[in-house]
Amino acid sequence: MSLPGNTDLSSYDASVTPMTPLTATTTMRSAILLASNDVNDVSLFLNGLTQNILILYDLFESLGYDSYLLHQGSSASASAEKRAFLHRYRTITPKEVIQRPMPIAVLVEIGMSLDSVTRGYLRSTGTKIVKLYLGNILNIDVETVQMCPSVFFYHHLVGEIDEIWTSPHYKQHLDYAALLNQTERENAYVVPYVWDPCFLTQYGSGGSSMEWVAPASWESTDIVIMDPNISFQKCYFYSLLLAEAFAQTHPEWKGKVVVVNGDRIAMQSRGRNVVLPSLSLYQAGRIILTGRKPIHTILKENRSACFLTHQWNNDFNYMTLELMHCHYPLLHNSEGWKEFGYSYSIDRWEEAVATLYQAMRYHAQNLAMYSTHAANLQWKHSIHHPAIQAEWQAHLSRHKAPVACLL
């Protein structure tokens, strides 16, 4: 019975995707193991893969599982400093898995591959074994044998894999990954891309010390190029050429170009002897090559900069989400995110130069709209998004076909 003046919610749409009940904590939860390297203050920022491991850990916890970081426990980096929040992540070793029986639903190999004996044991307990690829494995494998013929490491340990998972921007590698791991192609799936700003907030001071600050004048704004220069997929070349074209089109711009991880350019004979000397910016001393730095350091050192990136065959990148979250103007060429922020294409060079000018000249005026872009992109890939959670839950709970144990 509703009385006059009582709350009336008839105009409020309360429909949501069903949440995991908070009261369902009295029974033993199923566990998910994430094969990982040791996670500490050093390893966390050496590669986005390690951050992805922890983000997936938090995602699985929010779905009602007990997550564990599974690693050997004897790495040299295990003694490295850890922020307090890193200690809340459960860790376990393969030996402890055997000594402490628990209902394990899924083993996800993402940062480390287990040996066949341990895989076989887990398989015998009913655990589904998944290989999750979040790297451009086909390109990496081709580059490794061409550029580093003497390097040998166990990048792929074949056998005992029930399913192959990969991110949407690496769907093109599913056939290769399935064949490589001797897994049926029908058991290879695309899983949602996920991100969370927790590392910015946990390693910053509330985020305010890293947020973009409007420059005194756009003409003095520096450009920061963040391409890691470790592969042809993530290379400085187009970004530096775009900055050069921008300088020639807008001679009133007097800023510098800071190339993070740019010391790798100087290590390459072509970059050192051909590319850099041909640029007027370099001749004028306006290109600064720096070593690799954590994202927090880069942001604090370049509070009013405009960022520029070019990546090929690697459409999604945490760096884009991090920079947009902190409101830095960023020119990116992600086809999947082209409606968000300032995007460009190398096929439309003059338009790219014009877009860079817009980002440099009018970002302060666009800040409210830019913040909306950033928030929507973050929510699109949030671990708390109901659609993201539902899709991940479907992959985790999919029945594993019985396979003979190969112990």
- Residues 276-334: tens digit of each pLDDT: 999 999 999 999 999 988 888 899 999 999 999 998 888 898 999 999 999 999 999 99
Average pLDDT (348-371) is 97
113: three-class secondary structure by DSSP: coil
Q: Per-residue confidence at 1, pLDDT binned at 50, 70, 90?
A: low
At residue 405, does pLDDT exceed 50? no
Of 231 and 226, the structure prediction assigns the larger pLDDT to 226
Question: What pLDDT, on the 0 to 100 scale, is given for residue 240?
Answer: 95
Higher pLDDT, 135 or 251: 251
Q: DSSP letter string over 25-64?
A: TSSPPPEEEEE-PPPSTTGGGT-HHHHHHHHHHHHHHHTT
399 against 375, higher pLDDT: 375
Mean pLDDT within 206-218: 82
pLDDT of 195 strictly over 80: yes
Lowest mean pLDDT among 46-60, 106-120, 132-146, 320-334: 132-146
Q: What pLDDT, on the 0 to 100 scale, is given for residue 77? A: 44
Model confidence at 3, in pLDDT bands (50, 70, 90)?
confident
* pLDDT score recorded for residue 315: 86
- What does the alpha-carbon distance between residue 376 and residue 342 come to, in Å, rounded to a whole number? 14
d(Cα 163, Cα 288) in Å, to the nearest integer?
Answer: 45
Greatest Cα pair distance in the chain: 82
pLDDT for position 206: 46
- Give the pLDDT score at 350: 96
Q: What rounded mean pLDDT belongs to the chain?
A: 86
Report the distance separating Cα 309 and Cα 298, nearest Å. 14
The string of pLDDT tens digits covering residues 42-96 is: 888 877 888 999 999 999 999 999 999 998 765 444 556 788 888 889 999 888 9
How many Å from the N-terminal Cα to the C-terminal Cα in the chain?
65
170, pLDDT greater than 80 = yes
Q: Going from the N-terminus, what domains does the chain have, and what CATH number goes with each?
A: 31-196+384-397 (3.40.50.2000), 201-380 (3.40.50.2000)
pLDDT on residue 242? 96
